[in-house]
Structure 1
Amino acid sequence: MKSNFLKLVLPAFAILLAVGLAFATEESNLPYVGYIATQSGYAEIQTDCPNLSGGYCYDGLNQVFNDSGLTDPKRTWD
């Protein structure tokens, strides 16, 4: 009885676990268009915000902004 139960439940559990983990992806790692300040104004960049220092997104030493006016900083929790 015990071995029949395990033969039925163990594969079912493995399938449920695989399906559940298939949806456990991070949407925040998708690249997006951001803006950084340069000497001549702003530059448009593609980033996925790899640097998580202080809750704000940085590309190298440059802070990334959501708008070309450089007034809305990109936060890591956006």
Structure 2
Amino acid sequence: MKNRFLKPVLPAFAILLAMGLAFADASPTADREAYYKPLNQDWQPIMVEEACYQGGDNQCSYLGHQLYSSPSFSSTALSKP
């Protein structure tokens, strides 16, 4: 009796568990938009990691250009710990 019940239920349970865990993520990454201004060009947007908005000693840059929180040199220069 016990064997007849477990044979169809156990694989179904394993499939449901695998499907549920496929969508689980322990560390969601949140990207935010930052801006840089290449020489003689308009402001360009780029996606950066959340750490760039925490502040710190390490400047966030892209291709050698300092990243800013909005398309203006008077906005916050981004840096991370």
TM class by shorter-chain length?
0.3 to 0.5
TM score, norm. by length of structure 1: 0.47
Relative to the length of structure 2, the TM-score reads 0.46
Bigger radius of gyration among the two: 2
